[in-house]
Structure 1
Amino acid sequence: MKFVVIGAGKLGGTLSAQLVQEGHNVTVIDNNDTAIQRMLNSQDLMCIDGNGATAETQIEAGIKKADVLIATTAHDELNMLCCMVARKLGIERSICRVRNPEYYNQIDLIKSDLGLAMVINPELAAAGEITRVLIFPAAAKVEVFGKGKVEVVENRLPEDSPLVGLSLAEIYKKLKLQFLICAVQRDQEIFIPSGDFVLQANDKINIAASHSDLERFFKQNGAMKLKVKNVIIVGGGKIGYYLTQQLSELGMRVKLIEKDYKRCTELCDLLPRAIVINGDGTDQDLLLDEGITDVDAFIALSNIDEENIIMSLFAKNNSKAKIVTKVNRETYSEMASMLGLDTLISPKQLANGMILSYVRSLENASSESRIESLYNIIGNRVEAIEFNVNEKIQGLTGTPLRELRLKKNMLICAIIRKRQVLIPNGNDKIDPGDSVIIVTKEHRFSELKDILE
């Protein structure tokens, strides 16, 4: 497929690299010479130095032969104008980045006029992911499938965990719950484990189950944490705004620290149920004065990764709070994880996953199955994908799973059949109408039959 991406910033650069890696033809438009040169030096794609909102530049980029235009600049108005121009030039599908809450809340009024197939709001997505983690604080990360029927959560095993030293088969027999440990990270190595895999201390495990079974799993292993009631958020940007709004609606008490006075006055009007504090979140005395030692959760959302990591480490050393850290640079994510900061949020990676899910669904739009959602887990090294099975798939549906010849390094985690969640065994079958959740280490699947040898 051919894509025209407008904007060579963090999101546009990461997305373009992923699209090229998956075999697509990508042309990037930006009027920043430095950004253009950086992409040309690192990626196998075409770049055009120009204004992506002009018809002339889009035509030069090949918009009339493109399948999708993706507008990812930092300016909502520019992104919408780019999509409008592309629509006039005949493009049928556009993806638009819209971050401003006022624009996003009314985007449905103009969505069809702009020809938008998808609207992405990375900051809102990040806030939603943080909220899910705070609702279930025992998890480092929570991904939702089947409209909430199945969750895949990440958790690091402490040294005193009763699961350490047990094989997965022993764990399943002992706990007698409907769950599946579908991926494990041990140091830098990733495993898609079988029943004889033995867990060790400090393993990062990903568990697939319904929310109720996940709660029982953590309770039985002594890993369940108390409900979050009091939260400190540092950073009053768009993520901070969306997150404070969501947490306040859930009844949590939120203190939002922002160092820009003008922004504080705006937030006071927008968020009447929160306490907005004008101050520097990197000031340790301020954090102590505001009660960081007794808080249930601490969220670092400044625009500087280094500050977020330092603030989070201070909170980790001075409280028992659930800590969430925004980190955009992948090299910093690995370092932060090594320092014990397990719940890391990257808005650009969330947006990237949303777009790739849509792109892959386009690739097999007329096939027997369709991608409903796609998430990258364990540092973007494993994919968790939900497929909707539209009709019979030869050699797959109606056949007991034990008889299927499946590719290596992948697992079928769950089958959602109407309102029932199945953690499958060898006797279960996939039927038309099911939703199927898989995890895969090495394959980029665009349809469910790709799991077969």
Structure 2
Amino acid sequence: MKIVIIGNGKIGSNLAAVLVREGHDVTVVDCEEAHLRKSQNTLDVMCIEGNGATAETQLEAGVNKATLLIAATPYDELNILCCLIGKRLGAKKTISRVRMPEYYQQMHLIREDLGLSMVINPELSTADEIMRVLVFPSAAKVEVFGKGKLELVEYRLPDFPWLSGITLAELYKKIKTKFLVCAVQRDGDVMIPGGDFVMQSGDRIHVAASHKNIERFFRASGFMKDKVKTAMLVGAGRVGYYLAKQLLALGMKVKLIEKDRERCNELAERLPKAIVVWGDGTDQDLLIEEGVLEVDGFVALTGIDEENMIISLFAKDNTNAKVVTKISRENYIGLASDLGLDCVVSPKSLTMGNVLSYVRSLESIAGSEIESLYHLVGNQVEAIEFRVKERIPDLVGVPLKNVRLKKNILICAIIRKREIIIPDGSAVIELGDSVVIVSKEHHFSGLKSILD
């Protein structure tokens, strides 16, 4: 598939790297030679220096023959203009990055007129991810499928004596609720476990179930944490604004700490129910003075990863709060985990997943289409939701015990109307179902591809 990306900053360059790995023909456009140099040296992409909002530059990049144009510059207006021009020149599909809350909230009114296939907002996606974790603080990460009907929750197993030496089959018998452990990370290795898998303290497990059954699992296993009622956010950029707005709507008490005085005044007007504090959130004395020792949730959202990690460690070591850390650099995510920061969110990773899900859906194999896609365990595992659109031989209507799957694939849930089915060998996939699979080594565009 030919894909043109306009804007080769953090988001654009990462998208280019991911899409090249997927085997696509990628052209990158940027008006700054320095922004193109790294991609030119490290990726198999064509680089065009020029203004991506002009027809001349877009034609040079081959937009008129492109299946997809992605506009990912730092400027919303420029991205929308790039997509409008690209659509007129012949790009089949267009994706625009729109970050400003004022613009994003009205995109649904003009998206069709602009010819936009998709609008991405990394900051809003990040806020959504953090909000889900604060609503369910027992988890390190929560992904949703089937429009919220199914949850895939990441959790690090604590040092509980009763866990020692227990197999998953024994765990399923012990905790009598419908759930499935569909991926386990241990000492850098990733496994798609069977019933005979023996769990150990320190394992990172990914559990799939409905929200109600996820709660039952955590309560029965003794992992349940109290709900967050008060949250402190350090850093009041776009993520902080979106997140505070969501948490206030849920009835939580929110305190924002921001060192830009003008931004504080702006947010005090826009979020009258929040407490907005002008100050340096990296100052530990200020955090203590503002009540960090008493809050239930603490979120580090400054624009500097190192600062976020340091203040998160302070909150983790000195409070009982659920601590969430925003990290932009991918090579810091593993370091944060090694330091004991279990709940890390990455705007870039979330954006990659959203765009990749859409790109895979464009090349979907007949019979199914991708509804959602998430990367787990540092991109080593994919969780994909497929909608079964046509009857697929050897899969639809066949008991799962008789279905021959490729290695390292697990069908972890079937979503049928309002019902969540955690499948056993007798379960059957039907036409119209949504099917969630977890895969370690494969990258699928259609359900038919999972068959051996």
Normalising by structure 2, report the TM-score.
0.99
Shift in Å at residue 230 of structure 1?
A: 0.6
Deviation at residue 161 of structure 1 after TM alignment:
5.8
Distance of 2:162 and 2:285 partners within structure 1: 38
Q: Distance in 2 between matches of 1:314 and 1:60?
A: 51
For residues 109 and 294 of structure 1, the distance between their equivalents in structure 2, rounded to whole angstroms, comes to 43
How far the C-alpha of 1:108 sits from its partner, in A, is 2.0
Secondary structure of 1:162 counterpart? helix
Secondary structure of 1:166's counterpart equals coil
Match of 1:407 in 2: 406
2:15 aligned partner: 15
Mapping for residues 239-250 of structure 1, pairs under 5 Å:
239-250=239-250
Task: Give the 3-state SS of the residue equivalent to 2:4 in structure 1.
Answer: strand
What is aligned with 2:390? 391
Partner of 1:372: 371
Long gaps (5+) in structure 2: none
- Give the Å deviation of 1:410: 1.2
Partners in 2 of 1:187 and 1:409 — Cα distance? 18
Say whether the 8 Å CA contact 2:66–2:92 is kept in structure 1: no
Q: For 1:21-420, what aligned pairs fall within 5 Å after superposition?
A: 21-160=21-160, 162-364=162-364, 367-420=366-419
On the 8 A contact 1:264/1:278 being kept in 2, the answer is: yes
Q: 2:444 matched to 1:421?
A: no
* 2:175–2:221 CA contact under 8 A, matched in 1: no
**Residue 362 and residue 161 in structure 1: after superposition, are their counterparts in 2 closer, same or farther (change >3 A)?**
farther
Amino acid at match of 2:191: F
CA RMSD of aligned residues (A): 0.9
Q: Is the Cα contact below 8 Å between 2:258 and 2:277 reproduced in 1?
A: yes
Q: What's the CA shift for 1:90?
A: 2.2
Q: CA distance change for structure 1 residues 95 and 161 in 2, over 3 Å: closer, same or farther?
A: farther
Question: Aligned partner of 1:356: which letter?
Answer: L
SS at match of 1:251: coil
Counterpart code for 1:402 = K
Deviations 1:129-149 (A, max 9, x none): 111111110000000001111
Range moving further from structure 2, 100-109 or 176-185: 100-109
Residue deviations 1:315-367 (CA, integer Å, cap 9, x gap): 011101000000011111000001110111111111110111111111027x1
| Long gaps (5+) in structure 1 | none
**Aligned residue type for 1:104:** Y
User: Secondary structure of the equivalent of 2:117?
Assistant: strand
Could you tell me which amino acid in structure 2 is paired with residue 87 of structure 1?
A: K
Q: Per-residue deviation at 1:418?
A: 1.4
Q: Is the 8 A contact 1:163 1:221 kept in 2?
A: no
Change beyond 3 A, Cα 1:146–1:161 = farther
Contact 1:139 1:155 (C-alpha < 8 Å) held by counterparts: yes
Partners in 1 of 2:25 and 2:246 — Cα distance?
39
Partner-residue secondary structure (3-state), 1:142: strand
Q: In 2, distance between residues paired with 1:240 and 1:412? A: 36
For residue 398 of structure 2, what is the amino acid of its counterpart? T
Matches of 1:313 and 1:164, distance apart in 2: 28
- Cα distance in 2 for partners of 1:29, 1:9 equals 10
Counterpart amino acid of 2:445? S
Contact 1:8/1:30, CA 8 A, preserved across alignment: yes
Following the alignment from structure 2 to structure 1, what is the Cα–Cα distance between the partners of residues 200 and 5? 44
> Aligned letter for 1:397?
V
Runs of 4+ that moved beyond 4 A: none
2:138 aligned counterpart, secondary structure: coil
The 3 A distance-change label for structure 1 pair 300 and 398 is same
Query: Does structure 1 retain, via aligned residues, the 8 Å contact 2:386–2:435?
Result: yes
Kindly state the Cα deviation for residue 164 of structure 1 after the two structures are TM-superposed.
3.3
The number of residue pairs the alignment matches comes to 452
Query: 1 CA distance for matches of 2:311 and 2:139?
Result: 21
Tell me, in whole angstroms, the C-alpha distance in 1 between the residues paired with 2:134 and 2:161.
22
Amino acid at match of 1:401: L
Paired residues of 2:233 and 2:256 also in contact (CA < 8 A): yes
Tell me if structure 2 keeps the 8 A contact 1:92–1:115: no
Partner of 1:452: 451
SS in 2 for 1:294: coil
1: CA distance, partners of 2:352 / 2:370: 15
1:202 alignment partner, SS class:
coil
CA distance in 2 between partners of 1:107 and 1:412 (Å): 36
Secondary structure of 2:287's aligned partner? helix
Asked if the contact 1:161/1:221 (under 8 Å) is kept, the reply is no
Q: Once the 2 structures are TM-superposed, how far is the Cα of residue 163 of structure 1 from its aligned partner?
A: 2.7
**Counterpart residue identity of residue 349, structure 2:** Q
Q: Percent identity?
A: 61
